[in-house]
Structure 1
Amino acid sequence: MMRKYLLLLGASVALMLGLCATNQRPVDATVRATATIYLHGHHGGERSMDDLMASAEAADDAHSVITAVVQRDGKVDLHGYWPADTVRPLVKVVFKNNRTTRRHRISNWLRNVLVALRDRYGITKFNMVAHSMGNIACLFYELRYGRDPQMPQLHKYVALGGNFDGIPGHNRHQHPNHTLPDGRPAWLSPNFKQALRLRQNFPRKVQVLNIYGDMDGQHNDGKVLNASSRSLGFLLKKRLKSYREIKVRGWEAQHAMLRSNPQVALNVNQFLFP
């Protein structure tokens, strides 16, 4: 009888432990500090955002902790080590397919990253620093999923060289564009028209810093028109906690150079880590 009792007791304890293990979060999923996510643009890669991240580490006691690699099928692989007591954790996101311009695809990939970071590390808030096409991923993620209370919430957002209203040569029928007195771009891309229809979904408590380059007064950064980058203000300004634009001039205002421009890095860091 005693042996039978011990066997039943052992089975009950094992069952209870198994249920607990099934329902609990991963061991390292304690709530972390707000993660700052860096996302490259079209044709970007693993090294694209390194200068900005290195600047944050040097000036603001921030630390790179995780690289999230999104495979072509959308699967997310997390690499690195994230100590739970990191005050200013930096996360790099790399899209293996860095050529697609499909807004729903790349915004879904960003959602996959945030789900992985939430489930593995318990994040509830994040900042975003996006360059070029990475801004489309961020914008449409927020327009589609930003109000989901189960997802981490965007706190601060830095847009670099954002192509919110298209890129010449990439959008059919686009012509030289300009900003109207009310901030609306004169020509509207299909992406921007859809964003206008969805803008009421964008969270209201977000702070935004929009940085764009103007090479030699040409109203573009060599790739993206200023009207396209600045259209973010017309789209979201009235919904945000704060919105600020910074125009960068000179040879370092070129589209790709925005990622390594010291002036840009200084403004980004002061905004994120005041």
Structure 2
Amino acid sequence: MKKKIIIGLLALLIVVGATVFWLTRPPKIGKEVQNAIDKEEVIDSNIPTVFMHGYAGTKNSLGKMIERFDESGVATKGLILTMKKDGTIEATGELDTTKKNPTIQFIYEDSRVSVEDNILWLVDLMKELKSNYGIETIHFVGHSLGGVAGLYYLEEHASDAHFPHIQKFVAIGSPFNGLYIADDGVSPYDFGPTGPQTETERFTFFKENKEKIPADTHILNIAGDVEDGTKSDESVAVSSALSIRFMLNPQHYQEKVFYGAKAQHSALHENDQVDAEVLKFLWSNNQ
């Protein structure tokens, strides 16, 4: 009996140990990211990069991407600003612009707020960067609704002297023309010769205010297609994510579509190839 108990305890310890290792192991660095590092393509900039999650997101939504960049030496994990449910802002970590490619993570304690509140909170967080941290210029990475809110900020506030300017903007799986997904991949929102055949109120707003986007802001737009026939990442149609291509300066705009299981909506920010594209766009000598 004692022998069985000992064996059982040992098995439990092994399981617990393996679980702890899995949860605390260093993030895996993708091959393409390592290739960019090996080729010495990564620049050393003091411009902070803001990472913003989407609806129902958590600190892990883009936090693991930040950790991978930090561990690889590409960027430096720094300040975290959390918007509390009562609208106050909590700061942890620190922002040191003498460090290589410093990062700032925005987190919402209640990440299921309306689109309108999401945008208002993002504006408040951006104002915090300018007023309390003296940040003049940033890069911005937004996943899903984070990209939508980011584009609103880009149009409405990025040229305002009271807010940080966005030099480079990355959207990952962002529904710029709504959330409609067709089972057969064919919808009224698909593209015609000059843009989406049907426009949501959201897209129309962005199109009508496109001239407000700073002329020197460069944009990378990433979408996913899981190849299940819907032409979507299971949450956002490729046509919705890429709809803004029709209203942006082609010289300052580029897009990338990823395919397969790793192109699923929440898997995009854990995709090694996405990491590499973000790295090359934000911090590469080739940009």
TM-score (norm 2): 0.77
Shift of 1:60: 4.4
2:222 maps to 1:211: yes
> Residue 247 of structure 1 aligns with which residue?
257
1:228 aligns with 2:243: no
Structure 2 SS opposite 1:256: coil
The aligned counterpart of 1:263 is 273
SS of alignment partner, residue 66 of structure 1:
strand
1:34 alignment partner, one of 40, 47, 51: 47
Aligned residues: 235
Matching of residue 198 in structure 1 with residue 209 in structure 2: yes
Aligned position for 1:52: 65
State the shift of 1:58 in Å.
Answer: 3.0
Name stretches of at least 5 consecutive residues in structure 2 with no aligned partner.
1-44, 182-186
Say if 1:70 and 1:261 are closer, same or farther in 2 by CA, change over 3 A: same
Instruction: Give the C-alpha shift of residue 179 in structure 1.
Output: 1.4
> 1:112-137 CA deviation, whole Å, 9 max, x = no partner?
11221222322110011110010111
Q: SS at the partner of 2:209?
A: helix
SS of 1:47 mapped into structure 2:
helix
Residues 187-244 of structure 1, C-alpha deviations (whole Å, 9 max, x = no match): 2111111112211111111111111011215321111111100012113235xx5111
Residues 76 and 99, structure 2, Cα contact 8 Å, conserved in 1: yes
The counterpart of 1:102, out of the listed 115, 123, 129, is 115
Code of the residue aligned with 1:224 in structure 2: it is: V
Q: State whether residues 118 and 149 of structure 2, in contact with CA within 8 Å, keep that contact through their aligned partners in structure 1.
A: yes
Instruction: Please tell me whether the aligned partners of residues 188 and 197 of structure 2 are also in contact (alpha carbons under 8 angstroms).
Output: no
Quote the offset at 1:73 in angstroms.
3.7
Query: Structure 2: which amino acid aligns with 1:156?
Result: K
Q: How does 1:85-100 map to 2 (within 5 A)?
A: 85-100=98-113
CA shift in 2, pair 1:97/1:176, >3 Å = farther
Determine if the alignment matches structure 1 residue 144 to structure 2 residue 156.
Answer: yes
Alpha-carbon contact 2:233-2:265 (below 8 Å) kept: yes
Which whole-Å CA distance do the structure 2 matches of 1:83 and 1:157 have between them?
21
Question: Are the aligned partners of 1:101 and 1:133 in contact in 2 as well (CA < 8 Å)?
Answer: no
**How far apart, in 2, do the equivalents of 1:40 and 1:231 lie?**
20
Measured in 2, the distance between the counterparts of 1:163 and 1:150 equals 28
Rounded Cα–Cα distance in structure 2 between residues aligned with 1:94 and 1:106: 11
Structure-2 change in CA distance of 1:188 and 1:65 (3 Å): same
Matches within 5 A, 1:62-211: 62-103=75-116, 105-168=117-180, 177-182=189-194, 184-211=195-222
Q: What is the alpha-carbon root mean square deviation over aligned residues? A: 2.0
> CA separation in 2, counterparts of 1:83 and 1:210?
28
Task: Judge conservation of contact 2:48–2:101 (CA < 8 Å) in 1.
Answer: yes
C-alpha distance in 1 between matches for 2:189 and 2:203: 13
Query: 1:245 Cα shift?
Result: 0.8
Which digits, 9 at most, give the CA deviation of each residue in 1:55-83, with x for residues without a partner? 22233431111111012343222111223
SS at match of 1:208: strand
DSSP 3-state at the match of 2:130: helix
CA radius of gyration, larger in = 1
| Runs of 5+ consecutive residues of structure 1 not aligned to the other structure | 1-31, 170-174
Distance (Å, rounded) in 2 between the aligned partners of 1:117 and 1:227: 33
Q: Secondary structure at the match of 1:91?
A: strand
